[in-house]
Structure 1
Amino acid sequence: MPGSHQTISVEEHSARLLCLVRQLPPATLKIGPALLGAVLASDVHAQHPLPLWDNSAMDGFAVRSADTTTASDSAPVSLEVIGEIPAGSSRDPEIAKGQCVKIMTGAPLPTTADAVVRIEDTSAADTGWEVSSVQIKLPVAAGKDIRQRGEDKSAGDLIALTGDELTAPRLSALAAAGASELTVRIAPKVAVLVTGAELRPPGQELSRGQIPETNSLLIAGLLAESGIRAATIVHCVDEPQAVREQLAKLAPIHDAILSTGGVGPGDFDVMRQVLADEPGVTATRVRVRPGQPQCAGRLAGGAMIFALPGNPVSAAASFELFVRPALRAMQGHAQVQRPRLQAVAAVGWRAAGNRLQVLPIVFQHGDLQHGSQLQCAPAVAASRISHSVGGFGSAQGYALVPAGIEEIHPGDTVEVLRIAP
């Protein structure tokens, strides 16, 4: 495996992986809830104006505004009610001087009306809707409580861009703008391969040296939180030939394979040994803590592989830094990295010196000393990050402390990735 003794920066390793990414092919699919989480592969424009027609913003009465100019609470204007227009109606009654029609929110405004009087500002608020005439208690200007045709979007306006993720609000907006089909990239198909002779299923009695297997749950959960369902989860014995056979099965039918453990320099690190035969996979030492040993690249069978360290926090941090951006790039996301925020250290901690420190943190409310600025504190001991899975359970993000910094002091500003509310 090329580069097995390289030591590179986080940025270099991430950039190399992103260069290996192949975008998934687009598909044109019917718009619907199943497209939530898909990514647009083409821009989408409005097929018609939004709103489609002038319509009422209130339940009330559609009027000619000139008929209300003298109205007041003490001297209301009486108008004849000649009908009603519910939402969805195609009626367009002609309103003459001194007339009005009942109208519901969202119903199209009659062509001969130019304003709406809310029911609260009429006698109908007390007597109810079933009236042949209504007292208008205040004047309304032309355009009052009317949603104008095209005031939101005009036909042809850009609604969403290539690379936008389809959220519930965006899907709703696209449907409202007339889209019936969308060209999208769906989530990549990902397999999770679990190795480790010391691992046992949760709940099974443990002998000395054995621990519960939790990384499959961790990685599948991180995928799900990223909008990707793990297509396959495979448990494999720590034996090189068995791992080779699993990779040969998984690589042609998945876009990516994620594994945890077995990437170090030891005699029993089976993933590193197996991947040494793959010319498209590189073993590196990344200047980061935790997560220094990494094996990643593209298998001859087709899938990208991300062989991550086995300690849970190391695996999770590696997923955040390297795997999640690559999977988002596969799907065509316009933004593959999470936004980075600034937070104030609520307490001090020891940094990693010559490596980027990726420290799980929890957020705290601001105080009078720091105003409303976001504060953070370690979720795990800074000296024992990689294996502290218990404390990691409360983590809401990661503090990213650059190489070269030895100590973070209370009140220092640090860059953070927020991964949870």
Structure 2
Amino acid sequence: MPTPPFAPAARAVRSVEDHRTAVAELLSPLPVEWVPVDRARGRVLGEALLAGVALPPFDNSAMDGYAVRAADVAGATDDAPVILPVAADIPAGRTDVPALEPGTAHRIMTGAPLPAGADAIVQVEYTDGGDDRVRVFRASAAGTSIRRTAEDVVAGAVVLSAGTVLRAPQIGVAAAVGAATVPVRRRPTVLVLSTGSELVAPGTPLRPGQIYESNGPMLAAAVEDTGGVAELLRFVPDDVAHLHRVLDERLTAGTVDLLLTSGGISAGAYEVVKESLADRGVEFVKVAMQPGGPQGLGRVDGVGVVALPGNPVSSQVSFEVFVRPLLRVAMGHPHPERPRVTAALATALTSTPGRRQFRRGVLDAVAGTVREVGGPPSHLLAALARADCFFVVPEEVTTLAAGAPVEVWLLDD
């Protein structure tokens, strides 16, 4: 078998911003689908959610105690308690609540409907807790310990706006207003492809020249962390015809929103992704960043393609810079970017001119400093795993002194 030629080197050098802009055009806002409210954690509302009922839906007791007329207990004191007959029990959930007659009390539990005629609740702590007759030791003004209808949410009002990320409190209020299902943006399906004949599954004995495949699981996890659905396609050999067959089968099925590849896009021989996709609508460029200089993007069979470099750190950094915001924007996320803060550099460093550096670091939020982990090489995956942030060194900067302010991207959000 003849040795393939070196792949054509990318001639264009693109800024990080220009490449982000180009990648951002690969996905449109995803359509809305309705999902059960108890399966919607982390999803983004695609439409405003209207309250089907008011909150509270009826006047109810905020305390365990006794429903009374305020005028009947106005003079109650420890020395001169008011004694009232207990005419009814009203537990939470009772639907046939009798009206309260003057000069009587109803024993009532938290959340139970307020009986007609009552205008105050006396907490049980201010009584003797009687069943047939109750001694009341403290006056309660009208309105005391009563939750009024719609004081939280008015029926028909917008309770959650489009673009809201559904966490526990949002799911709680959606359920409380009667939403069995909620309208959310569909999760993007991302086909994650790692190429390389040298790659084998973890747990398999390594032969000389082989390495365990890590980019696929790593990028699939990154897609899932972002909110997408990852389909991992592993162990595709360095064979152009084979890759064509695999992609033709998967991309024409109409189930994939984005193809994400790693590896095979540099200028060496056996750069199978570049050889396979360069004539099918994918452009390969050099981006002025480190790690992650080689990049590719385009469309194949109508599906957006982002081609990332194969070194693990380069691949993951590139995902954070380009792919994560792409997916979150498509899902309508209100905050597509990582949170960013400014911190003081713990130690001095030097940087390659003309390339934006994304260095791995650990942030000391108390001291307001960030220290580098592992240095700039793009193969130091263990160092990446120890990092909780990236910090950015601009293209024009070649040296930074200890204490210099840097932009920090927080990775734990």
1:37/1:186 contact within 8 Å kept = no
* Correspondences of 1:196-345 after superposition (within 5 Å): 196-252=196-252, 253-279=255-281, 281-299=282-300, 301-345=301-345
Q: Assess, with a 3 A threshold, how the Cα gap between structure 1 residues 420 and 30 changes in structure 2: closer, same or farther.
A: closer
How far off its partner does 1:162 sit? 2.2
Q: Secondary structure at the match of 1:393?
A: helix
Q: Assess, with a 3 A threshold, how the Cα gap between structure 1 residues 32 and 182 changes in structure 2: closer, same or farther.
A: closer
1:178-210 deviation per Cα after TM superposition (whole angstroms, max 9, x unaligned): 334433322111211111232222233334433
2:399 pairs with 1:407 = yes
Q: Secondary structure at the match of 2:67?
A: strand
1:71/1:136 contact within 8 Å kept = yes
Q: Assess, with a 3 A threshold, how the Cα gap between structure 1 residues 365 and 35 changes in structure 2: closer, same or farther.
A: closer
How many residues are aligned here?
Answer: 405
Match of 2:3 in 1: none
Which letter does structure 2 place at the counterpart of 1:264? Answer: S
Match of 1:393 in 2: 385
Gaps of 5+ in 1: 125-129, 368-373
* Correspondences of 1:363-374 after superposition (within 5 Å): 363-367=363-367, 374=368
Match of 2:51 in 1: 46
Q: Runs of 4 or more off by more than 6 Å in structure 1?
A: none
Q: Assess, with a 3 A threshold, how the Cα gap between structure 1 residues 41 and 365 changes in structure 2: closer, same or farther.
A: closer
Alpha-carbon separation, structure 2, partners of 1:215 and 1:178: 43
Alpha-carbon separation, structure 2, partners of 1:333 and 1:21: 14
Alpha-carbon separation, structure 2, partners of 1:76 and 1:380: 74
Alpha-carbon separation, structure 1, partners of 2:289 and 2:95: 65
Q: Which of 186-195 and 401-410 deviates more? A: 401-410
How far off its partner does 1:378 sit? 1.9
* Correspondences of 1:76-87 after superposition (within 5 Å): 76-87=81-92
Match of 2:20 in 1: 14
Identity of counterpart residues, as a percentage?
Answer: 37
* Correspondences of 1:53-132 after superposition (within 5 Å): 53-124=58-129, 131-132=131-132
Alpha-carbon separation, structure 1, partners of 2:84 and 2:351: 77
Alpha-carbon separation, structure 2, partners of 1:329 and 1:49: 32
Which letter does structure 1 place at the counterpart of 2:395? Answer: A
Q: Which of 101-110 and 177-186 deviates more? A: 177-186
> 346, 365, 375: which is aligned to 2:369?
375
1:379-420 deviation per Cα after TM superposition (whole angstroms, max 9, x unaligned): 322x32x11101111221211232222333333332222222
2:37/2:179 contact within 8 Å kept = no
Which letter does structure 2 place at the counterpart of 1:376? Answer: V
1:5-35 deviation per Cα after TM superposition (whole angstroms, max 9, x unaligned): 22122121111121232233323x2533233
Which letter does structure 2 place at the counterpart of 1:282? Answer: E
Which letter does structure 1 place at the counterpart of 2:165? Answer: E
2:219/2:316 contact within 8 Å kept = yes
Q: Which of 226-235 and 255-264 deviates more? A: 226-235
Q: Assess, with a 3 A threshold, how the Cα gap between structure 1 residues 11 and 232 changes in structure 2: closer, same or farther.
A: same
> 23, 29, 32: which is aligned to 1:23?
29
How far off its partner does 1:230 sit? 1.5
How far off its partner does 1:140 sit? 2.1
TM (normalized to structure 2)?
0.90
Q: Assess, with a 3 A threshold, how the Cα gap between structure 1 residues 212 and 315 changes in structure 2: closer, same or farther.
A: same
1:7/1:284 contact within 8 Å kept = yes
Which letter does structure 1 place at the counterpart of 2:266? Answer: G
2:165 pairs with 1:165 = yes
How far off its partner does 1:2 sit? 12
Q: Secondary structure at the match of 2:233?
A: strand
Alpha-carbon separation, structure 1, partners of 2:128 and 2:221: 58
1:116-161 deviation per Cα after TM superposition (whole angstroms, max 9, x unaligned): 222222222xxxxx61122222222222222221111112322222
Q: Assess, with a 3 A threshold, how the Cα gap between structure 1 residues 259 and 20 changes in structure 2: closer, same or farther.
A: closer
Q: Assess, with a 3 A threshold, how the Cα gap between structure 1 residues 88 and 277 changes in structure 2: closer, same or farther.
A: same
Match of 1:371 in 2: none
* Correspondences of 1:132-211 after superposition (within 5 Å): 132-211=132-211
Q: Assess, with a 3 A threshold, how the Cα gap between structure 1 residues 116 and 400 changes in structure 2: closer, same or farther.
A: farther
Alpha-carbon separation, structure 2, partners of 1:407 and 1:74: 80
Q: Assess, with a 3 A threshold, how the Cα gap between structure 1 residues 26 and 68 changes in structure 2: closer, same or farther.
A: same
Which letter does structure 2 place at the counterpart of 1:284? Answer: V
TM (normalized to structure 1)?
0.89
Alpha-carbon separation, structure 1, partners of 2:54 and 2:69: 25
1:37/1:187 contact within 8 Å kept = no
Q: Secondary structure at the match of 1:220?
A: helix
